[in-house]
Amino acid sequence: MSEKAPLRVLFATPEVAPWVKTGGLGDVSAALPAALAEAGIEVRMLVPAYPALVAAFPGRIPLVQVERPGAELLPATISCVALQPRLELLLVECPAYYERHGGPYQDRSGRDWPDNALRFGLLSRLAALLASSETPLDWRPDVLHCNDWQTALAPAYLRYRHEAGAASVTTIHNLAFQGLFPMARIHALDLPVAAMTIEGVEFHGRISFLKAGLQHSDRLTTVSPTYAREICEPEHGFGLDGLLRHRRDRRSGDLVGILNGIDTRQWDPATDRSIAARYGARSLALKQLNRAALGERLGLALQADTPLLGMISRITRQKGADLVIDAAPELLARGARVVVLGSGDADLEARWRALAAAHPGRIAARIGFDEALAHLIEAGADLFLMPSRFEPCGLNQMYSLAYGTPPVVRATGGLADTVVDCTPRTLADGTANGFAFGPPTTEALLAAVDRAIEAWREPATWRRLQRNGMARDWGWGPAARQYADLYRSCLRAGQ
């Protein structure tokens, strides 16, 4: 019997940790392709060659030069780096687009790069080319997997610019970011006028990269089952809920939610090199050493009988940063200490800074990005706060669960799929692992924190909560299997 050829997947993404990461998509792009490769799938990851990647891989091998990607899109070289068996990084080298000082999407002052349509148009254009029958490479994927708006124009290019190509899957990591650009850019992007219709890439008079992917991909996924349901409703649909319902309700069931995992090579308290004392479910007493180290590092006056609350996130309304800020006086009245790490909206950042200045020793605000401190907060805090208004999946609550730091979350999206509210029933059946609340209000948040503090004061209950969270395998194995099944199902459907 001949051995079946491995499935081949081109994974197109605008971020990959540790080199380029603005949020969870960077983590997912580092861990999911690796898990797929371990499961026997051949994966090539297509990413722009940002300065950090150029510096990290001086030995990368140039494979091909694409002289005319189309219209105003600049020429690029595709080079390659082997990362692990069956996993290669394909870098899109176009220094004029990608080698800039600043972030992947914005300049240093937080303004979007003015040519983002072309920068991510090129990434999408090349993803489609490599997934088509006209690919200049001798490796052709069975499936093109796009991630978020920055790559979501690729299925439209496959449709309008190529005769034949791979099956396509687009994953929505956050529907709030859609990649909207003036209609006039359509020519510069090398798309035909025919694409500028409601069945094409048009969205309220503009080009929507994300809508292009939702419209033209064979399958759509998002990063948790609950968020997959939520985005089909007007409240979380950002105007795309009608299209998403249509895709969900087709006979092939084109929209599915697959819960993210966490990278257990990076996030495991038993092996974590960034924390003060490593520990596991049977040595939770050692967690105290991390608490003490965190308190010392941040100058917090910790007390044995009041908890330390941690928060790591983009400081935005999506993440409920304002709810925590508004709740801060009440949290302090309960004797709690608070540490927040993050960056985001300038006005919310300023409010955190002001709170920290007004309450030294009791509130610590670190504005910025600090990977090592994030690990120490997960290990050292008693409770983790994540009161997001919406949350496609969320990784930090899973890190918290894996670190024995029960999270207090709003029951939405991936938070609802991972955190089991502590009640007499869930404690009895061994599923309770945190605290969840409903309305996005300060009162509801405080009520949940009060329940959490009460449980924290009962050591036996607390240990059970911590161990329930730590017992589950939060790794990528289950998600990788679901993606592999999905890839196979779209190939079977002959798309």
Residues that bind ligand GLC (CB under 6 A): 23-25, 28, 173-174, 223, 260, 391-395, 414
Q: Which residue has the tokens 């148009």?
A: 121
Q: Which residue has the tokens 């500028």?
A: 196
In angstroms, what is the minimal distance from the CB of 366 to ligand ADP?
Answer: 7
* 13 vs 132 by CB, closer to ligand GLC: 13
The Cα 378–Cα 266 span in angstroms is 12
* 17 vs 78 by CB, closer to ligand ADP: 17
The answer to whether 395 contacts ligand ADP (rule: CB under 6 A) is: yes
344 binds, among ligand ADP, ligand GLC, none (CB under 5 to 8 A by kind): none
* 16 vs 118 by CB, closer to ligand ADP: 16
95: Cβ–Cβ under 8 A, 6 or more apart, which residues? 49
Q: Quick one: which H or E segment has residue 9?
A: strand 8-12
The answer to whether 148 contacts ligand ADP (rule: CB under 6 A) is: no
Of 443, 454, 445, whose CA–CA distance to 412 is shortest? 445
At position 480, the amino acid (one-letter code) is A
* 208 vs 224 by CB, closer to ligand ADP: 224
Q: HSE (CB half, 13 Å, CA atoms) of 328?
A: 23
The Cα 165–Cα 217 span in angstroms is 12
The Cα 487–Cα 495 span in angstroms is 10
Q: Find the binder of ligand ADP among 257, 310, 394, 469 (CB under 6 A).
A: 394
* 316 vs 461 by CB, closer to ligand GLC: 316
* 79 vs 400 by CB, closer to ligand ADP: 400
CB atoms closer than 10 angstroms to residue 2: 4
* 170 vs 396 by CB, closer to ligand ADP: 396
Residues 368 to 387 in contact with ligand ADP, rule: CB under 6 A: 369-371, 374
In the bound complex, which residue of the shown chain has the CB atom lying closest to ligand GLC? Answer: 24
49 binds, among ligand GLC, ligand ADP, none (CB under 5 to 8 A by kind): none
- Quick note: the x/- pattern for ligand ADP over 299-318, rule CB under 6 A, is -------------xxx----
In angstroms, what is the minimal distance from the CB of 19 to ligand ADP?
Answer: 14
Judged by DSSP in three states, 253 sits in coil
The Cα 271–Cα 279 span in angstroms is 8
The DSSP symbol for 20 reads B
CB atoms closer than 10 angstroms to residue 187: 12
In the bound complex, which residue of the shown chain has the CB atom lying closest to ligand ADP? Answer: 24
| Residue ranges that bind ligand ADP, judged by CB under 6 A | 23-24, 27, 312-314, 341-343, 369-371, 374, 393-396
